[in-house]
Structures are given as C-alpha cells and as structure tokens.
Amino acid sequence: MQVLTILAILAADPGQLFVEKVQPALKRDCLGCHGEGQTISKLDLRTREGMLKGGARGAAIVPGKARESLLYRLVLNGGAQQMPPGKHLAPDVVTALGEWIDGGAPWKEVGGGPIWNFAEADLWALRPVKKGMLRLPAGSKPVDARTLVRRVTFDLTGLPPTPPEVSAFVSDRSTDAYEKLVDRLLGSPRYGERMARYWLDVVRYADTSGYSNDFERPNAWRYRDYVIRAFNSNKPYDRFVREQIAGDELYPGDAEALIATGYLRMGPWEHTAMSVEAVTRQMFLDDVTSSVGTTFLGLTTGCARCHDHKFDPIPTADYYRLQAIFATTEFARPSLPFLAVENVAHIAGERAGMVQVRDRTKAMMDSFGDTKRPDFPPEQYEAFKVYQKHLALYGESLDRYEAKAFAVSSGPRDGETDGGGTLRYPKRVDYRAPEVHVLIGGSVEARGEAVTPGVLSAVGRYSELKAFDVPTEVAGRRAALALWITDKKNPLTPRVIANRVWQMHFGKALAADANNFGKMGAKPADAALLDQLAGYLLDHDWDLKGLHKQILMSGLYRSVDVAPRRMEAEVLRDSMLAVAGELSLEAGGPGVFPQINEEVARQPQHRMGTLAPPYFPSPERAQRNRRTIYAYQQRSMADPLVDVFNGPSLDLSCERRDSSTVPTQAFALFNSQFAHDAALAFAARLEKEAGTVEGRIVRAFELAYGRRPEAEELKLSLEHVARMTRMHVAQAPPAVKAAKPIVHGITSELTGENFTFTQMQPEVKYEANLHPSQVSAATRALADLTLTLLNSNEFLYVY
Amino acid sequence: MSTKFSRREFVMSTTVGLNPLMLAAAAGQPHHEAKAKRCIFLLMEGGPSHIDTFDPKPKLNELHMTKFQKDRTRFAAAMNTGERYYVRSPFEFRRAGKLGVEMNSLFESFSGVADDVCFYRGLKAESVNHPTALYHLNTGNQFGGDPALGSWVCYGLGSKNPNLPGFVVLPDVAYPQGGAANWSSGYLPAQFQGTPLRAQGAPVLDMAPPEGVTEQRQGANLAYLRGLNAMHQRRHEGHAELAARVESYELAFRMQKEMPQVLELEKEPAHVREMYGIGGKDKDADAFGKRCLLARRLIEAGTRFVQVVAMGWDSHDYIDKAHGARIRAIDRGIGGLIGDLKQRGLLEDTLVVWAGEFGRSPDNGIRRGAAAWGRDHNAAAMSVWMAGGGVKRGAVVGATDETGLQAVETVHPLKDFHVTLLHLLGLDDNKLRFTHAGREKQLSQVGGELIRGVMA
C-alpha cells in the first residue's frame, strides 16, 4: 500500500509528468512542425525558453497558468486552430500538459543536465564505494556444528553433506576445523556448479531460443560450462565480466573468452516468415541492452526504451547510446575446437543416434513422393509437415556436437547461422556500422534523434568515473563498455556482485532487489557493510572465493540468526538423487535429459502449427541422473518438478528464487514417479549399507538429515516400516508395463480437423530404474519410509 | 463418495477450515463493484479470420483475385511480400438475433444466443507472430514470462474454493504456441499459476500416485509424515513456513478427492450434454463441448478463471475446409455454454470472452493453387466477443474498413481490452499492481483506457 501512495504522489509531480507524458507527446505530435527542421509560425517547442518566447502569436506557455497558455488552449479545444491539426491528443496527455504547466512547467532536458529530483538516498548506488575495513556482524549465538556443516555444504555445493563429512566435522576439535571445511568446499568442483545456477538464473540460460519453433541453440552448453569453470577456477570477477561482454575483442584467440560472449545472446530470439526483420533485430538489441544493465549494473535500463526512465537518471538517449554499442554486434557461430577441459565423452555416440533418427525421418519424408502436386491430399500433407519440422529441429540439434561457439562478432558474422530459426538474417556485404537513433516510444518505425555509442551519463555525473569514450568504429565498442563496467571507479559493478554473493548465503540480499539498485529498488539494509564487501573485491583483485570465505567465516553466518531456507528446485532434485545413491557427478557436456513426469514427456509439443518429437529421457541412468544444472533447458517445456518448486521463467532474469508453498508441490514429491523411483533406490541402498531394519532407519536419517533419529522418531519409524511391510506382503506390486506407442494429435491447419501422428521411438535400449516388482515386500516397505523422509520438512529446509 | 451435491453444499463443505496457505489469496477484494465475479476465456489459437466469422466483407467478392497493393515495404515480414491477391470468403453468412448480427452460417447453435453477446470489431493486436501475439493476448507482454490475465484476476479477487486451483486451463490436444508460458504466474506467487487440466491421465499432474499405491498406503505414509513434521516443528517453533507446508499436504489430498467429482461430466443430464454438442458425430465438437461444460462445472465449484483453448485457426490455405471444420467444432460448445449459463442464472455474474491472437488478411499470396486459398496474419483488425456480467447485450461495437484490412471505428489496442476485462471483473488495472525487482508492474504494462462501448 505504501508503494501505491508513493506512486500517486509521483504521478502528480510535474517533472515526472513532463518526462512521462508531455515530452513524448511533444516529440511525437509537435516537433515535426515546431522545432525539428522547421519552426512554423516561428515557434520552437524544443526548449523551455522556446516555449516562453513563443512564436508569431506570442508565448506558448505561461508557467503556473495552463488556462492562459496558448499551447494548452489549442490542444484542449482549438476549434479551427486545433493543434495538432485535425487531431486530438489523448485525454491523459492533455491533462498531463495542463498539470505540468500549472506545476510551473519544469523542464527536464533529455540526455544531459541533472533532470530528476533525487534525495541523496536514491543515488546511493551511483556514489563512490566507501571502502573500509570489512567488519561483519557477529551474530547472537553460534549454531551447533551439525547444523553448520549442513548449512555451509548446501550453500557452497547445493548438495547435502555425506554422513562421514558430517561426523568428521562434528568430531574435529581443532580450532581451524571450520576454516578447513570452508576451504575444502570452495575447492570442490560442486562449488562452480552451485554458483553457476545463480548466474544462469540472472542471464536466463537456455539451450533453446523460445517462441514458435523453440529451435536449439546447439552450442550454448559450452557457455554453461564456461560459467561453471569460471567460478571453479575463481576467475577474477572483472575478467569474467569483460569476457562475457567483449571476450572476442579484448582477448582475441582466447577460446574461453569467445565462448563467454554467448552471454550476449542468452535472451529468447526468433526470426520466422511471420516476423519483420527490423523488429527481430531490434528485439535482440533491446534484450541485450536491458540485460547488461540488469546483470552487471543493477539498473533497469529497459525502462528508458520508450521514455526517460521514470525513477532513475537514465534518459532515453542514454539507453540508445548504450544500445548503439551493440549495433555492430552480430550473431556468430565460428569453429572452435573443443577444449581439453570440455566433456565430449558422449558426443560421438549421441550424434550417431541422432543421425540415425534424422535419416529415418528423411526416409519417411521421401516416401510421400511429390508433395507439391496440386492434388496432393491435405490430410497426408500434415504428416509430411511433421517430418519436415522434425528434420529442421534435428538439423539444429545436431550442431550441438560440432566444435563451434555460440558467440558474437563485431561486424560481419563469422559462421553461417543464427541458431534461432531456419530463415537467416541477410548477410551483410561491405559492412558499415548502422546509424542508431532514439526510437520514439521504442518503436522501430519512429526514429528520433541520432545517437553515438556511449555509456550511462548518470555514472559520470554522480561517481568518480568520469567521461568514457566509446569508439564509433565497427569494432571496439563492446571492449570499451566492458572496460567501463569493470573500471574500479565504477561504483555499481562491485556492489552488484557483492550483493548477489551475500544473498547466496543469507537468502536475502543486503539491497533486497539484486537486479535493481535504482530509486525503486530496496535500499541496502546496511549500506556501509555492502560497501565494505564491494571494497574487499576492489582491494583483492575481484576475488569471489575470498569474499565468500570472509562471509562464511563471520560470526553472523555461523550463528542461529540465519533464516531457514527451503531448497531450490535443483538442489532438491540433486539431493534426492544424492541420498538415494543415484546422483552422477559427471560434469559438463551437451545437455542431458532427466527423467521427467511421463505425461509431460509424452504430451504433444506444438511447433509452428505442427509437432516436435516427444521428450525422451537419456537412456543411460547415469546420464539421466546428472546434476540438474546439466539438464537440457528447453524454454517451451520446463521439467515439471523444477517448475512446481518455483523454477524461474527462462525468459526473465531471476535475481532471487521464490519459495512459496503450493499444494501441487505435494503431488510432485509424494506422487511422482521420479520421487517413488528415488525412494526405491534409496531403500535398496539402505539394504546394502546396513543389516537390520533399525540400522537401515538410522542410516536413512543420517543420509537425509545428517543426524541419527531420536528415540521417538526411531520408534515411529520402526512402527511405520512394520505396518508397511504387512501391507506390502498382502499386496503384490504391479508388473512392469511395456512402453506404449506415442500417438499425438494436433488440429490441422489445412483441414481444421484433428489429425493424429504416431511418433518415432529411438532405437536404443533404455536402462530402466529399479521397479517395485523386482524387490521384496520389505524393500518396498522401506521405500515408503524413504519416500516420506524425502517429503518431510527437515529434508527440504536448510537451517 | 457422494453422488449428488448442490452448488451451495459443495462450496460450504469445502470452505470449512480455510487454511492459512490460501488465506492471503482468499482475502482478495474487488476494487469496485462489478457484476462479473469470474471469467471463462475461450482462446482461439492461431488467429481466427474476422472476415470469415463475424465481420463479413462483401467487397471482397468484387475484388476476388485482383492484385493487392500494400504500402509496407520497409517493415514487412517475408510472409507479406511477393504477389498477393484479394480473396473472397468462401462462406455463406446469416443474420442472427434481434439486431441481425451477421455471422458465418455455420454458427447454428451460437446464432441462437446472439442477443446475449457483444461483438467487438475494433481491437488491434501488435504482433503478427503467433507466440508473441499469444503472449501479448494472454499476459499483456509480447516477450513472455509475465503473469497471465487469469493469474492477475486470481491475485486480485482471490480464491473462492481453496481446494481447487483458482486459474484452470483446458488445453486442446496440444499446447498453444509458446507453451505453458501462456498461463504462467510470472513474477506473481506460484499459487496464481494456471493449472492445465489434462484430458487424459491425471487431470492435475501427479495428482494420482503411481499404479499400485493404494489409498490405504498413501494414508499411512501421510500419517507418518505428520508425525515426523510435528516432531521437527517442535524443534523449530516460530518458523511459520513449516505449518504452511504441512497444511499444503492436507490441501493437496483434499484436492485429490474433490477434483474428480468436478470432472464427472457423466453426472450431467443428457439434454445438457447435448446442448454442448457432446456425444455427437463430430469428435472435435464433442471434445470442445466437454471442455466448455467442464468450464461451467469448474466456475460453479469456485474456480475463478477458466481458459478453454481451441486450436487450429491458422488457415493460410484451404480456409473453406479448415475454418469450416473449426467453426463446426466450436459452435455447439460456445452456444451451449452461453445458453446453459443463462438458464442457470450464472451468465449474470460470469464474463465470457472469445478471442484469438490476431485477425486475418483480406489477401493471400496464393500458394497451393487457387482452390486452396486462405488468409495470412493481420494484427490491424480482428473480431472478439464478450457476454455476461457487465457486458452490453446484443451489440456490435467498432468496425473495420471495407476489406477488413484495418480496424477503423472505436479502435483500441490490446492493453485497453485487458483493462476493460479487469474492469468488468471489478479490478482496476492501475491498482492491480505487483512490485517485482523494485518495479511496479501491471497487466497493461503502462495503463490503458476502457473500451466503454462494450460495457452495459
């Protein structure tokens, strides 16, 4: 409610009215005749002075008196002299104009000069970082060792500590026991996988492009692995940023840096016969401009696309200057040999499998004969279209096995395709840097003033980072931006990342809106502390692991004051597999296909009026059960388990996961085949690792909770197993069922009738999970216990 | 399991013991008084042709197969370039209702309820690309990821029956282009997400346990879970989320019991089923009719917003065949739905909306021989209709030009349509906001105007 009140006040602020309504209307409807190129009736409405001076008929405005202002009168009801001629401005614009004049007609120059009224508090993020001794809060009282080891292990690896890891820490009496633990975890390859998840949330990583075809981005996985490696090798953050924005320009010949530029193309993108080329290109430019602001600077630059930013000192011209930096950025998919650190172990085998499916598809297509003949039956044409679409999809997907980079280049593209659609953007011969204009209202059809590439003026105005030249040549624009963002005087960059790191450990960032450090974002709860953390990075060569360690060693982190957190979806899935003994820790490589809800896997997937092939989980168990970060991320189809546990949209930058509770989560965890399979594997593991029912229960608690059961829990658990054993002895499990053919329906565009299509199945042997019919009643009873443990609050919450 | 229940009993029996989890949602209050309390949104995916449904253009009979000139060289999609020709509608049209609204003669059942419907011909979309246009229609944002209209309505009005999802989607055989993002809750809390009810298998994903898991076994596990959670909670008093999570399991299993009752269409008398076209020879009409009847049962049981999807309107070729079959598939469903809502007194406080993502072009780049003509995408003109609470009855508002290329009278952009629909449901788009990442967001993105002409 408070926010609404603030907005209401702002709406009446004449300065805001000018920025939001008056000036856009002037540009759109007035300046064509009175200012830009011509000044009919000697009236120039481009400046406040021009308005006061007026034209042949006198002053256009009388500040404070709308009703006496000619401009207002003619716009309101000019009769024969109605302005603009033959048109009435929208009522809200007219009202705004009146209120603006009544409010004194304050002028806010677009593109220069201090234009917004800010309290100093609103500008905190733009002011220089006040470095200082890092003094972290002490916390009220230390948490017990068992809770601490679980907390820090989940925080740094996204996985539960194993029972030996727990007992080793709990029994280690040395004074540096905890520090050794933190160092070990920071050195674990699981650390990079955990940190990468947060980063990929922010940049919206996906393996597909979204929209109608949702074509694969065949080499995007190399970017995902690059991010994991960057965190694991503790790449200095400034270098990490520079590589993603301008790796190709700043570090030519460096393969990692070229892969890193895939970041610039992470947004959804598609160009089809139905899209307008200029619009598609503009979508990319808007996406990347806004993504850079959000990801690295914590500024919602996207708001300035259509109008000067309502709340932050980002004029529209700044937005388009920033965008002009990317005007010469073209998609590229250059050849780039696989690196020794990349996982290409499965590539040959997987490619052979897909080639086979593609060839079968091709053969099916050929069997239709001449589909172009006029009497070709439309009903058959639908089936032909499905194969045709499959062929296109396989064509893109096969490229994931090619040694190419999903990257960009400055100027003419390097490599032949965009990876986003079959219709290619035209190649550019004699490449010249396109001229960039402010687009009025953000529309490609309404060009305003021309702008040159540049950085955000507000940073120069309020911080110590002064003027920064961006070249106007084709190359070097992004390099300049990257250097500006990572300049040690840029106050935003270190604050933004320090704030994100804090959030990883406490669930809530110091400045709670990690993507928005502007006026409307939450102010930092402890600005001095945030600056100290940012200062630590500046003084320690942007050492992220060092920063983590500082935070983790603090009294606060080791205290009972840390709020409990429900596991994120990926942590939950990985942890279920880990305690079940099923998790495969193989790292890297093209996306794998986990076991997902079978109905979703088998449901028809619509692609441009026809059908995609169904989802087939990876046939090898070890591949299905890889960590979730390695799962193929398809924009149009999320893993329902991840989705229901608040997985973010892959199209929006996610600064922080929601963890709200909904009843469908109970269905996913209590009823899904995945949960039941994990529970059964967990039970089978317990039987291997302990000889008695009691021993197995104890082991289950140690694995799932990191502790032994209390007497009351043990009693309840023993009773439960006994009861469930009786039930299972009396009831035989269902037999394994043969897989059914996948018959899909879709409404035909050609006939308007439903049409069915039987999908091809891969000719590979599927390594099935353990099935209840393969185990004893006792194991099935134990699986009821493990299923319930995996559903319990203690398993899902990290304290 | 009880076999019969009146609406009142059903609602009473299920709102007892309102759980803390849903309290926030249930507390939603409209911003102003409005007749409509809930909404059924009939989504016609693919872009139905206004010219061949509710906005006939006799002028095209004269222009048929004459060359079409477009002044859109710089900003044309590949689809709209090359030689193009005007094409007439292959359909007959009838006049319906007191007003004599013209519509495709294939609308037999629906023409009977024309007096309860307000046809609006002035709407304009922006995108001519299916997924972006669908996202725009469903979420107010072409780029996807924002909350759907149904999510906003549930966020604003809350839930009437905590045991059922507030926002339900009844998809066609396949999902529309752009997939589940069309009913995502975006940045709104997860409970406002659209729940697709599946035609086959468990209606809600994983609502039923795997084969072989009996109710007895599930009950025993649930009891054990309660025990574990209770002991855990004693060690973590003051952690409120724990109670909500415990409650979510109870709620889930109440839903597990109640949902199947709502789905039992066989309980409906034969004459009602027939009204909706269920059981007829046309299989597509039968399937669509079932979704419409289910929509009625869901709103009766307390679901706030139901989206019924009918796909396949993207008739670039063979429009006579394709649109003909589509219209036959939906006619009884939409006619039956409005008639049935009316006879039950539910039309008074239910808003029914019929819309696709855009309209279609008067011209076509003849591809598969003249016999196979169809129409391409057109965002500058389309027809939608509304009926029920707060909507004008038996009216035509707005108009397109003589070929159906452009909307020219009472023209409004999509955001105004959104603002109007919210208004009819008692919600003010400017007040229905949610702070996300430090930004105040709303369905229309930037505010919009009411389309007053369609309001009663």
Nearest by CB to residue B318, choosing from A378, A445, A518, is: A378
Give the per-residue pLDDT at B9: 29
Yes or no, beta carbons of A274 and B129 under 8 Å apart: yes
Q: What is the distance in angstroms between the Cα of A667 and the nearest Cα belonging to chain B?
A: 5
At A275, the pLDDT band (50, 70, 90 cuts) reads: confident
Model confidence pLDDT, tens digit, residues A429-467: 677 888 999 998 788 888 889 999 999 999 998 999 987
State mean pLDDT over A774-788: 98
Dig out the tokens for A459 from the structure. 């940073």
Whether A233 contacts chain B with CB within 8 A: no
Whether A776 contacts chain B with CB within 8 A: no
Q: Over 90: is that where the pLDDT of B15 sits?
A: no
Beta bridge partners of B413: B124
Whether B231 contacts chain A with CB within 8 A: yes
Give the per-residue pLDDT at B240: 79
Top-confidence range, A507-521, B21-35, B288-302: B288-302
Of the residues B53, B185, B205, the best mutation for testing chain A's interface (the one with the most A CB atoms within 10 Å of its CB) is: B205
Yes or no, beta carbons of A664 and B204 under 8 Å apart: yes
Nearest CA in chain A to B241: A661
Give the per-residue pLDDT at A520: 79
Q: Over 50: is that where the pLDDT of B21 sits?
A: no
Q: Over 80: is that where the pLDDT of A71 sits?
A: yes
Q: B259: which chain A residues are within 8 Å (Cβ-Cβ)?
A: none
Model confidence pLDDT, tens digit, residues A739-780: 889 999 888 888 888 888 999 988 889 999 999 999 999 999
Q: Are B383 and B54 in contact (CB under 8 A)?
A: yes
Q: What is the distance in angstroms between the Cα of B169 and the nearest Cα belonging to chain A?
A: 15
Lowest mean pLDDT among A109-118, A504-513, A634-643, B347-356: A109-118
Give the per-residue pLDDT at A8: 31
How far apart CA A635 and CA B89 sit, in angstroms, is 38
Q: What is the distance in angstroms between the Cα of B97 and the nearest Cα belonging to chain A?
A: 27
Give the per-residue pLDDT at A440: 82
Dig out the tokens for B325 from the structure. 């079959």
At A94, the pLDDT band (50, 70, 90 cuts) reads: confident
Give the per-residue pLDDT at A390: 95
Q: A211: which chain B residues are within 8 Å (Cβ-Cβ)?
A: 129, 131-132, 144, 177-178
Yes or no, beta carbons of A661 and B248 under 8 Å apart: yes
Between positions 317 and 336 of B, the ones with CB within 8 A of A are 317-318, 321-326, 329
At A421, the pLDDT band (50, 70, 90 cuts) reads: very low
State mean pLDDT over A230-241: 98
Q: Over 70: is that where the pLDDT of B117 sits?
A: yes
Q: A521-525: which pairs have CB atoms within 8 A and are 24 or more residues apart?
A: A521/A298, A521/B437, A521/B438, A522/B438, A523/A121, A523/A124, A524/A124, A524/A499
> What residue type is B94 in one-letter code?
R
At A11, the pLDDT band (50, 70, 90 cuts) reads: very low
- Judged on CB neighbours under 10 Å (0-12, 13-18, 19+), B78 is middle
Give the per-residue pLDDT at B14: 29
Give the per-residue pLDDT at A10: 34
Q: B77: which chain A residues are within 8 Å (Cβ-Cβ)?
A: 273-277
Q: How many interchain CB pairs under 8 A, A with B?
A: 304
At A274, the pLDDT band (50, 70, 90 cuts) reads: confident
Q: What's the DSSP call for residue B324?
A: H
Q: Which of A648, A642, A614, A649 is nearest to A628 (CA)?
A: A642
State mean pLDDT over B74-98: 82
Which residues, including other chains, have CB under 8 Å from residue A222's CB and lie 6 or more apart? A259, A262, A342, A405, A406
Q: Over 70: is that where the pLDDT of A304 sits?
A: yes
Model confidence pLDDT, tens digit, residues A512-546: 889 999 887 889 999 999 999 999 999 999 999 99
At A196, the pLDDT band (50, 70, 90 cuts) reads: very high
Q: What is the distance in angstroms between the Cα of A671 and the nearest Cα belonging to chain B?
A: 4
Nearest by CB to residue A788, choosing from B228, B368, B372, is: B228
At A789, the pLDDT band (50, 70, 90 cuts) reads: very high
pTM attached to this predicted model: 0.84
At A9, the pLDDT band (50, 70, 90 cuts) reads: very low
Q: What is the distance in angstroms between the Cα of B98 and the nearest Cα belonging to chain A?
A: 31
Which residues, including other chains, have CB under 8 Å from residue A120's CB and lie 6 or more apart? none
DSSP-derived 3-state class of residue A286: helix
Q: Over 80: is that where the pLDDT of B6 sits?
A: no
Beta bridge partners of A634: A637
Q: Over 90: is that where the pLDDT of B172 sits?
A: no
Model confidence pLDDT, tens digit, residues A104-155: 888 765 444 434 556 778 889 999 999 999 999 999 999 999 999 999 999 9
- Give chain A's mean pLDDT: 90
Nearest by CB to residue B205, choosing from A599, A611, A710, is: A599
Dig out the tokens for A106 from the structure. 């304050």
> What residue type is B273 in one-letter code?
R
Whether A300 contacts chain B with CB within 8 A: yes
DSSP-derived 3-state class of residue B112: helix
How far apart CA B166 and CA B150 sit, in angstroms, is 8
How far apart CA A778 and CA A720 sit, in angstroms, is 12
Between positions 379 and 408 of A, the ones with CB within 8 A of B are none
Helices and strands counted in chain A (H then E): 32, 10
Yes or no, beta carbons of A274 and B128 under 8 Å apart: yes
Which residues, including other chains, have CB under 8 Å from residue B302's CB and lie 6 or more apart? B10, B11, B14, B159, B160, B161, B164
Dig out the tokens for B351 from the structure. 């808003």
Q: Over 80: is that where the pLDDT of A62 sits?
A: yes
| H-helix segments, A431-487 | 457-462, 477-485
Yes or no, beta carbons of B130 and A212 under 8 Å apart: yes
Yes or no, beta carbons of B249 and A666 under 8 Å apart: yes
How far apart CA B141 and CA B94 sit, in angstroms, is 36
Yes or no, beta carbons of A671 and B210 under 8 Å apart: yes
Which domains does chain B show, CATH number per domain?
7-454 (3.40.720)
DSSP-derived 3-state class of residue B315: coil
At B11, the pLDDT band (50, 70, 90 cuts) reads: very low
At B1, the pLDDT band (50, 70, 90 cuts) reads: very low
Which residues, including other chains, have CB under 8 Å from residue A2's CB and lie 6 or more apart? none
Nearest by CB to residue A752, choosing from B179, B205, B324, is: B324
Q: Over 70: is that where the pLDDT of A562 sits?
A: yes
DSSP-derived 3-state class of residue A37: coil
Whether A651 contacts chain B with CB within 8 A: yes
Q: What is the distance in angstroms between the Cα of B386 and the nearest Cα belonging to chain A?
A: 24
CA distances from A447 to A25, A37, A305, A443, B380 (A): 14, 14, 12, 8, 21
Yes or no, beta carbons of A637 and B179 under 8 Å apart: yes
Model confidence pLDDT, tens digit, residues B211-220: 999 999 999 9
Q: Are A521 and A511 in contact (CB under 8 A)?
A: yes
Q: Over 90: is that where the pLDDT of B100 sits?
A: yes
ipTM: 0.85
Element holding A573 (H helix, E strand): helix A569-579
How far apart CA A671 and CA A787 sit, in angstroms, is 9
Q: Which of B431, B451, B340 is nearest to B388 (CA)?
A: B340
State mean pLDDT over B78-104: 88
Give the per-residue pLDDT at A114: 39
Give the per-residue pLDDT at A428: 56
State mean pLDDT over A41-68: 86
Which residues, including other chains, have CB under 8 Å from residue B117's CB and lie 6 or more apart? B97, B101, B338, B385, B386, B387, B393, B394
DSSP-derived 3-state class of residue B373: strand
Q: B216: which chain A residues are within 8 Å (Cβ-Cβ)?
A: 727
Q: Describe chain A by its helix, strand, coil percentages, rounded to 5.
A: 50, 5, 45
DSSP-derived 3-state class of residue B307: strand
Q: What is the distance in angstroms between the Cα of B143 and the nearest Cα belonging to chain A?
A: 8
Element holding B400 (H helix, E strand): strand B399-400
How many C-beta atoms lie closer than 10 Å to residue B6's C-beta? Answer: 9
| H-helix segments, A20-112 | 23-25, 48-53, 70-77, 91-102
Percent of chain A at pLDDT > 90 equals 63
Q: Which of A334, A206, A301 is nearest to A263 (CA)?
A: A206
What residue spans define the domains of chain A? 2-108, 201-337+429-497+517-536, 347-402
Lowest mean pLDDT among A46-50, A614-618, B34-38: A46-50
Whether A371 contacts chain B with CB within 8 A: no
Give just the sign of the alpha carbon dihedral A384, A389, A392, A395: negative
Between positions 369 and 428 of B, the ones with CB within 8 A of A are 369, 371-372, 377
Q: Over 80: is that where the pLDDT of B10 sits?
A: no
Give the per-residue pLDDT at B7: 29
Q: Over 80: is that where the pLDDT of A289 sits?
A: yes
Nearest CA in chain A to B147: A649
